Structure 1
Amino acid sequence: MITDSRATPPPPLTAAVRNNAAWCDAVCRSHGVGGTVEGGVWASALRTPPLYPDAVTLSPAVTPDDVLPRIDLTSPGASVKDSFGTLDLSRAGFEVLFEARWIHRPATEPAPSRADGWEPVEGTGRLLAWEAAWSGDGESEGLFRPALLDDGAVFLAPAGTGPVTAGAIAYPGAGAIGVSNLFAADDDPDADAAWRSCLEATDRLWPGVPVVGYEHGDDLAAAIRQGFEPVGPLRVWLRTDG
Structure 2
Amino acid sequence: MTPNESPASLVLAAARNNAEWCAVMSAAHGVTGGGFGPQSWAAPTRTPPYYPDAVTLTPGADPAALVARIDTATPGASVKDSFADLELTGAGFRVLFEAAWIHRPAGAPATASGLGWEVVRDPDALRTWALAWDDGAGDAALFPPALLADPDTFVLAGRHPGDRGVVAGAVAGRAAGVIGVSNVFRRDDATPDTAWPFVLEAVHHLFPGLPVVGYEHGEDLTAALAHGFATVGPLRIWLHG
Structures share a fold, TM > 0.5?
yes
In the alignment, residue 142 of structure 1 is paired with which amino acid? A
Distance 1:37-1:116 versus aligned 2 partners, 3 A rule: same
Q: Within 1, Cα distance between the matches of 2:181 and 2:163?
A: 23
Quick check: 1:224 aligned with 2:225?
A: yes
In the alignment, residue 3 of structure 2 is paired with which amino acid? P
Secondary structure of the corresponding residue to residue 142 of structure 2: coil
Q: Provide Cα deviations, 1:42-66, integer angstroms capped at 9, x if missing partner.
A: 1111111111111100111102112
Report the TM-score, using the length of structure 1 for normalisation.
0.90
In the alignment, residue 64 of structure 2 is paired with which amino acid? D
- Counterpart in the other structure of 1:43: 42
> Is the 8 Å Cα contact of residues 41 and 66 (structure 1) preserved in structure 2?
no
Quick check: 1:215 aligned with 2:234?
A: no
Secondary structure of the corresponding residue to residue 181 of structure 2: strand
Quick check: 1:9 aligned with 2:3?
A: yes
In the alignment, residue 17 of structure 1 is paired with which amino acid? A
Query: Identical aligned pairs, as a percentage?
Result: 52
Secondary structure of the corresponding residue to residue 234 of structure 2: strand
Q: Provide Cα deviations, 1:164-212, integer angstroms capped at 9, x if missing partner.
A: 22211111111111100111223x2323221011101100111111000
> Is the 8 Å Cα contact of residues 109 and 227 (structure 2) preserved in structure 1?
no
The answer for unaligned runs of 5 or more in structure 2 is: none
In the alignment, residue 172 of structure 1 is paired with which amino acid? R
In the alignment, residue 169 of structure 2 is paired with which amino acid? G
Distance 1:168-1:195 versus aligned 2 partners, 3 A rule: same
What is the RMSD computed on CA atoms of the aligned residues? 1.7
- Counterpart in the other structure of 2:76: 77
Secondary structure of the corresponding residue to residue 126 of structure 1: helix
> Is the 8 Å Cα contact of residues 128 and 140 (structure 1) preserved in structure 2?
no
Q: How many residues align?
A: 232
Shift of 1:9: 2.6
- Counterpart in the other structure of 2:24: 26
In the alignment, residue 9 of structure 1 is paired with which amino acid? P
- Counterpart in the other structure of 2:61: 62
Secondary structure of the corresponding residue to residue 170 of structure 1: strand
Report the TM-score, using the length of structure 2 for normalisation.
0.90
> Is the 8 Å Cα contact of residues 71 and 78 (structure 1) preserved in structure 2?
yes
Shift of 1:117: 2.7
- Counterpart in the other structure of 1:183: 185
